[in-house]
């Protein structure tokens, strides 16, 4: 019996997929950082920076991928700021909206497909020995990006913390959406403060174009 049973979730960097890039479209008063393709917006002493998380979680039996965006929220006000999944919304070029996935939901989606050994490049392993053999083999046969493996708990640790941001503090992390960017031309990430209705204009809007 093999000694090490581990669940490894295969995660792809978008930069490793066929030249797919998620690039910010400049907006008024936005500051674009071309080094990491992020954009920062400031509104009433709150600065939010957003960029593609450069990661897609894909699996063999999954309809649609899970895509992430990396968010930094800097609260320079004198009041607490509430940030949670309800703060974010994603809209694609067809006007379809996507609600964020909780880390628990992301893990649940991935867990449904862990009985499959996924074909290249979506590879999953149950046993540490299998992973080590494959890593050794691929290290000497190809320079192409193969896969980036994380343990399931990393889905939680990499996610943006939910809750209250105290004055003069900031939080950072990933927000997950179930969307396949390969079939999209543009997306817009909208961020709402707690008191802002979803029917009203978002407090922060980050448009991105998808370059293939």
Single pTM value for the model: 0.74
Least confident of 65-79, 103-117, 127-141, 190-204: 127-141
Q: What integer pLDDT is reported at residue 19 of this predicted model?
A: 64
Provide the domain count of the chain: 1
Instruction: Tell whether 4 is covered by a domain.
Output: no
Does the pLDDT value for residue 93 go beyond 50?
A: yes
**Which tops the pLDDT comparison, 111 or 164?**
164
Instruction: Tell whether 2 is covered by a domain.
Output: no
Provide the domain limits for residue 127.
Answer: 10-211
Instruction: Tell whether 55 is covered by a domain.
Output: yes
Instruction: Tell whether 110 is covered by a domain.
Output: yes
Confidence of residue 212 (pLDDT cuts 50, 70, 90): confident
Q: Which two tokens stand for residue 185?
A: 């031309």
CB-based burial label for 78 (10 Å; 0-12, 13-18, 19+): exposed
Angle at the Cα of 185 from the Cα atoms of 184 and 187, rounded to 5 degrees: 80
d(C-alpha 22, C-alpha 102), whole Å = 22
Q: What integer pLDDT is reported at residue 205 of this predicted model?
A: 98
- Of 2-6, 10-14, 134-138, 163-167, the range with the highest mean pLDDT is 163-167
* Average predicted confidence (pLDDT) for the chain: 77
Which of 37, 45, 5, 57 lies closest to 170 in space, CA to CA? 45
Instruction: Tell whether 118 is covered by a domain.
Output: yes
What percent of the chain clears pLDDT 70, i.e. is strictly above it?
Answer: 66
pLDDT tens-digit map of 31-57: 999 999 999 999 999 999 999 986 555
**Which tops the pLDDT comparison, 104 or 63?**
104
Instruction: Tell whether 1 is covered by a domain.
Output: no
Give mean pLDDT, residues 56-85: 81
Instruction: Tell whether 3 is covered by a domain.
Output: no
Q: What integer pLDDT is reported at residue 145 of this predicted model?
A: 36
Q: What is the CATH number of the domain that holds 14?
A: 2.60.40.4110
Give mean pLDDT, residues 112-128: 45
d(C-alpha 189, C-alpha 155), whole Å = 20
d(C-alpha 194, C-alpha 175), whole Å = 17
Least confident of 93-97, 137-141, 181-185: 137-141
**Which tops the pLDDT comparison, 210 or 59?**
210
pLDDT tens-digit map of 11-27: 333 333 446 789 999 99
């Amino acid at each position: 019996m093999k000694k090490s049973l581990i669940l490894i979730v295969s995660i792809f960097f978008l930069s490793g997929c066929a030249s797919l890039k998620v690039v910010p479209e400049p907006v008024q008063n936005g500051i674009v950082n071309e080094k990491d393709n992020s954009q920062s917006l400031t509104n009433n002493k709150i600065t939010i920076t957003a960029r593609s998380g450069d990661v897609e979680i894909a699996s063999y039996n999954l309809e649609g991928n899970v895509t992430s965006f990396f968010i930094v929220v800097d609260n320079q006000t004198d009041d607490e700021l509430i940030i949670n999944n309800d703060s974010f919304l994603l809209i694609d070029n067809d006007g379809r909206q996507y609600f964020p996935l909780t880390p628990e939901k992301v893990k649940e989606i991935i867990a449904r497909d862990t009985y499959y050994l996924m074909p290249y490049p979506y590879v999953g392993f149950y046993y540490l020995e299998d992973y080590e053999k494959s890593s050794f083999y691929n290290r000497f046969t190809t320079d192409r990006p193969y896969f980036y493996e994380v343990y399931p708990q990393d889905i939680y640790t990499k996610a943006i913390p939910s809750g209250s941001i105290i004055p003069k503090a900031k939080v950072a992390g990933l927000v997950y959406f179930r969307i396949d960017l390969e079939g999209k031309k543009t997306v817009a990430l909208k961020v709402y403060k707690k008191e802002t209705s979803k029917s009203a204009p978002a407090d922060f809007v980050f448009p991105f174009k998808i370059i293939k």
